[in-house]
């Protein structure tokens, strides 16, 4: 991981999450078809890593699961380094930003996750929390993806970004933003399987209901991207666990 992706840069946005559900369960949960890519559990998924993403196949129309790099690289980019600055996309301005507006129309995706991490500022300290839902299964962020051809090598890179919105009542005490979490009944429309105009798409990008979220404090080891182990997501006793329900 490059120094540019150290923790201080990530604190202003959704910059870490956990996806430890296996590929076969993700396929079953999301209705994706075809062979599943090989990937291991990630308890501290970070930008520039290749992570599971569900997209709609351009020919068959089926949902497919693949590995894409986190940090969207626009088709017009001169090099892939710009992706480190595009790990998130604000819901309020997707249709205005050159990096995202075409992807919003044609290349929407789902990013499976089990929980995500956010840090609350307490003076000079930064207190990490894990945040998930009460769905009892893998959930999905709203995402956008893009294909970029390296002008030097001719190789294709497929990358994605996670859409963010204003925080709900369960998470606003930690951070003012949160990733857009789509319930399963919105997955088809977001992927383009159903007709959805600009207004309907924007309506999908609302904060997830606070009553269905879980928030719990975790250890500070999650702040180091080199740490990636199951206990990172375990609750600790140094802060209050919150369940709005």
Active site residue 200: no
Mean pLDDT (the chain) is 91
C-beta of residue 191 within 8 angstroms of C-beta of residue 58: no
Q: What is the model's pLDDT at position 241?
A: 52
The answer to whether position 229 is within a domain reads: yes
Could you read off the pLDDT of 130-173 as tens digits, one per residue?
999 999 889 999 999 999 999 999 999 999 999 999 999 999 99
| Global confidence as pTM | 0.91
C-beta of residue 3 within 8 angstroms of C-beta of residue 10: no
pLDDT at residue 4 greater than cutoff 70: no
Average pLDDT over residues 94-104: 94
Active-site annotation holder among 118, 146, 194, 195: 118
Average pLDDT over residues 26-32: 96
Residues facing 51 on adjacent strands: 68
Handedness of CA 10, 152, 102, 182 (dihedral sign): negative
Active site residue 109: no
Q: What is the model's pLDDT at position 7?
A: 35
8-state DSSP, 181: B
**What domain range includes position 173?**
3-233
Could you read off the pLDDT of 213-223 as tens digits, one per residue?
999 999 999 99
- Nearest to 72, CA basis, from 57, 88, 56, 60: 88
Distance between CA atoms of residues 188 and 179, nearest Å = 19
Helix (H, G, I), strand (E, B) or coil at 224: coil
Active-site annotation holder among 14, 28, 96, 169: 14
Handedness of CA 7, 144, 39, 232 (dihedral sign): positive
Could you read off the pLDDT of 108-122 as tens digits, one per residue?
999 999 999 999 998
The answer to whether position 120 is within a domain reads: yes
Q: What is the model's pLDDT at position 59?
A: 87
Contacts of 8 (CB under 8 A, 6+ apart): none
The answer to whether position 242 is within a domain reads: no
Give the DSSP letter string of 53-115: EEEE-TTT--EEEEEEEES---TT-SSGGGGGG-SEEEGGGTTT-TTTHHHHHH-EEEEEESE
The answer to whether position 16 is within a domain reads: yes
The answer to whether position 244 is within a domain reads: no
Average pLDDT over residues 91-103: 94
Categorize the per-residue pLDDT at 195 as very low, low, confident or very high, splitting at 50, 70 and 90: confident
Phi-psi region of 192 (alpha: psi -120 to 50; beta: other; left: phi over 0): left
For the chain, the domain total comes to: 1
The answer to whether position 116 is within a domain reads: yes
Q: What is the CATH number of the domain that holds 185?
A: 3.90.1680.10
Lookup result for tokens 């893009």? 146
C-beta of residue 118 within 8 angstroms of C-beta of residue 186: no
The answer to whether position 243 is within a domain reads: no
The answer to whether position 123 is within a domain reads: yes
């Amino acid at each position: 991981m490059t120094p540019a992706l150290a923790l201080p840069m990530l604190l202003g946005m959704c910059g870490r999450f956990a996806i430890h559900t296996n590929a076969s369960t993700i396929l079953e949960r999301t209705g994706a078809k075809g062979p599943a890519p090989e990937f291991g559990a990630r308890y501290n998924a970070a930008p520039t890593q290749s992570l599971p993403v569900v997209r709609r196949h351009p020919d068959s129309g089926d949902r497919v699961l693949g590995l894409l790099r986190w940090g969207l690289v626009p088709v017009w980019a001169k090099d892939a380094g710009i992706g480190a600055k595009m790990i998130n996309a604000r819901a309020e301005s997707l249709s205005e930003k050159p990096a995202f507006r075409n992807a919003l129309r044609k290349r929407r995706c789902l990013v499976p996750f089990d929980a995500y991490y956010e840090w609350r500022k307490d003076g000079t300290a930064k207190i990490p929390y894990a945040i998930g839902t009460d769905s009892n299964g893998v959930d999905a962020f709203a995402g956008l993806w893009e294909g970029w051809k390296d002008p030097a090598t001719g190789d294709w890179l497929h990358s994605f970004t996670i859409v963010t919105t204003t925080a709900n009542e369960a998470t606003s005490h930690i951070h003012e933003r949160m990733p857009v979490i789509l319930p399963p009944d919105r997955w088809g429309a977001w992927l383009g399987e159903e007709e959805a105009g600009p207004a309907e798409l924007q309506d999908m990008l609302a904060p997830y209901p606070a009553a269905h979220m879980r928030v719990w404090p975790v250890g500070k080891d999650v702040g180091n991207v080199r740490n990636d182990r199951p206990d990172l997501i375990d609750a600790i006793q140094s802060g209050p666990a919150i369940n709005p329900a």
